[in-house]
Amino acid sequence: MTNVLIIDSAATGEASVSRGLTSKLAERLSSGDRGLEDRGLGDRGLGDRAIHVVRRDVGTSPIPHLIAETVGAIRGAPGDTDAGRRALALSDALVEEIKTADVIVIGAPMYNFGMASTLKAWFDHILRAGVTFRYSEAGPEGLVTGKRAIVIESRAGLYSEGPAAIMDHQEPHIRTLLGFIGITDVTFVRAEKLAFGPEAAAAAIAEAVEQLGSLAKAELALAA
């Protein structure tokens, strides 16, 4: 069985382009005799499936940002408050999701040249020294290895090339955070120029859908 974890982070609900694209991918992966499971919306028994898809939407059900009462628990201090214990339990659950997953799909809209704060909060809960990475004499070492990531980015402008590329603080940051925990096999699928008019937006989305179709086909072949 191949386990796929899909993380959505857009704040715009059903109007979100990135969420629409992750849904397209989920439909392809869960088509036929394959399972789909939504965390927070009720789990369903799926049996022995070739591909098992789990979705977590941190855009509509946000992960709390770390605060003084919770940051210590995530960093390894004893959880001696109710808030700290809740934060640690949530972090443990999120870490277990990524450790169980073979493929991690992240829907990442660009907000003000970076990732959504809800996605950053998710990363803040899964980057844990001694759990998902460790420090050694040779430097930091990622402990979440042997996994693939697909990052679906939606952007109003064009940031993958040209004069605005210098303002892209989204993709490098996501790549760094994934790599820090050991996930270095990362594919970025970009839907750009969404604010350049209806035709440009439609073309960008269509191109992203085609890329995702190829990725889904490859995953289905591996799971067969």
Give the C-alpha separation, 117 to 59, whole Å: 9
Q: pLDDT under 70 in the chain at which residues?
A: 32-49, 79, 223-224
Ordered by start, the domain boundaries in the chain are: 2-223
CA dihedral (86, 87, 92, 94) in degrees, to 10, reads 120
| 73 phi and psi angles, rounded to 5 deg | -65, -40
- The residue type of 68 is A
The pTM is what?
0.90
Give the C-alpha separation, 166 to 81, whole Å: 43
- Residue whose entry in the numeric block shows the structure tokens 């940002």: 65
Domain 2-223 annotated CATH 3.40.50.300: no
Give the C-alpha separation, 181 to 127, whole Å: 7
